[in-house]
């Protein structure tokens, strides 16, 4: 079943076309690696899907509904959750409260015991259980990243958007992170992950898409995409218009 259909979506900032006529589809339960040099529009594309930004044109069909330009909270309740490239947590709330939010207000809208169960499960998956009552502002960077993922998971999303979630982890944490995403993907969540770490992309993503200067320049089986001439040129920086 097609879960997500991004249909000729564009977004410009002034004269800059940050996302330019991007189209792709995703089947339910699959995982897509989204690559591209810095400034190629990956984060902007995630922002368009999560509703943080509205597209200038195009449609974003999710579960049969066009969500392009809908309010962020509506899109969240429809079943799309994300992490941010620059980590965002709620520092004055406890870890448990941080994670309760999407459990309470998100896709499934639980309350009381059930919300707490979902929240604790998300903390458990990300290894934060023993600090559930601590203040989120006291966490170090890596744990803040974990908390962000826990928060996204507690929404029980159908589509999860990860924006360089693995960046900044040390080698051990990276292996843990890869295993965690693997298990999420195995549990049926559809995932788009923006990632620079090729090791992770190769391990996790059978399919990859590559952006350059706002355009989608490749989309297909990972090893084929990574050996594509236009992709290599884009990464070497001499492809003006691939």
Partner 1 sequence: MIRLAIALLGLVALALVPLFVSEYELGLMIGMATYVALASAWALFSGQTNYISLATVAFYGTGAYTVAVLNESLPYPAVLLCAALIGAGMALLVGLSTLRLSGIYFVIFTFGLAELVRQLITWYEVSITGTLGRYIFLDLTARDIYWQMLALAAVAIGLTAWINRTRLGLALRAIGDDEVVAAHSGIHLARTKLIAFTLSATLITLVGAVASPRWVYVEPLIVFNPTVSFLTVIMALLGGANRLWGPLVGAVPLFLLFEWLSVNFPDTYPIFLGLLFIAVVFVLPNGLLAGLDDLRARFGRRGK
Is 50 a binder of ligand ADP (CB under 6 A)? no
Asked if residue 135 binds partner 1 (CB under 8 A), the reply is: no
43 scored as a contact of Mg ion (CB under 5 A): yes
Closest CA relative to residue 218, chosen from 234, 206, 236, 205 = 234
Q: Applying CB under 8 A, which of residues 27, 111, 206, 220 lies at the interface with partner 1? A: 111
- The string of DSSP codes covering 74-98 is HHHHHTEEE--SS----TTSBHHHH
Cα–Cα distance for residue pair 36/47, rounded to 1 Å: 16
**Best CA proximity match to 125, nearest among 77, 75, 82, 184:** 184
Fill in the per-residue mask, 16 to 35: x = in contact with ligand ADP (CB under 6 A), - = not in contact.
Answer: x-x-----------------
Question: Judged by CB, which is closer to ligand ADP: 12, or 63?
Answer: 12
Order across the sheet with 57-62: list the strands: 16-27, 2-13, 57-62, 65-66
- Select from 26, 31, 36, 146 the one that contacts ligand ADP (CB under 6 A): 36
Q: How many residues bind partner 1 (CB under 8 A)?
A: 27
Residues in CB range of 231: below 8 A, 6 or more apart: 35, 210, 217, 218, 225
Choosing from 26, 32, 33, 43, the residue that interacts with ligand ADP (CB under 6 A) is 43
Sign of CA dihedral 242, 18, 235, 25: negative
Identify the residue whose tokens are 């069909």.
61
Of 12-20, 63-71, 177-185, 215-223: span binding ligand ADP (CB under 6 A): 12-20
Q: Which does 235 bind (CB under 5 to 8 A by kind): Mg ion, partner 1, ligand ADP, none?
A: none
**Which residue, 131 or 215, has its beta carbon nearer to partner 1?**
131
Check: CB of residue 8 under 8 Å from CB of residue 20: no
Is the Cβ of residue 143 or residue 164 nearer to ligand ADP in the bound state? 164
**84/120 with CB nearer ligand ADP:** 84
Residue from 109, 183, 220, 221 in contact with partner 1 (CB under 8 A): 109
CA–CA distance, 1 with 190 (Å, rounded to integer) = 12
Report the C-alpha gap between 156 and 110 in whole angstroms: 11
| Site string (25-64) toward partner 1, x via CB under 8 A | -------------------------x-x------------
Q: Which residues bind Mg ion (CB under 5 A)?
A: 43, 85
């Amino acid at each position: 079943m097609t879960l997500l259909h991004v249909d000729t979506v564009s977004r410009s900032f002034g004269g800059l076309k940050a996302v330019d006529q991007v189209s792709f589809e995703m089947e339910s339960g699959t995982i897509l690696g989204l690559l591209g040099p810095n400034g190629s529009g990956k984060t902007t594309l995630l922002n368009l899907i999560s509703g943080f930004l509205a597209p200038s044109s195009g449609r974003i069909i999710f579960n049969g509904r066009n969500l392009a330009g809908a309010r962020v909270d509506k899109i969240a309740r429809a079943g799309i959750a994300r992490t941010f490239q620059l980590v965002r947590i709620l520092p004055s709330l406890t870890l448990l409260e941080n994670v309760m939010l999407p459990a309470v207000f998100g896709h499934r809208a639980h309350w009381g015991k059930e919300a707490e169960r979902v929240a604790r499960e998300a903390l458990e998956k990300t290894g934060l259980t023993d600090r559930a009552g601590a203040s989120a502002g006291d966490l170090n960077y890596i744990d803040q990243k974990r908390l962000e993922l826990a928060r996204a998971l507690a929404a029980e999303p159908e589509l999860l958007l990860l924006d360089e979630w693995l960046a900044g982890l040390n080698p051990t944490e990276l292996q843990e992170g890869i295993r965690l995403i693997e298990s999420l993907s195995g549990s049926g969540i559809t995932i788009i992950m923006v990632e620079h770490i090729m090791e992770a992309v190769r391990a996790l993503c059978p399919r990859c898409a590559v952006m350059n200067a706002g355009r989608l320049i490749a989309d297909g089986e990972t090893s084929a995409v990574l050996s594509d001439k236009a992709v290599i040129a884009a990464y070497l920086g001499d492809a003006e218009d691939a």
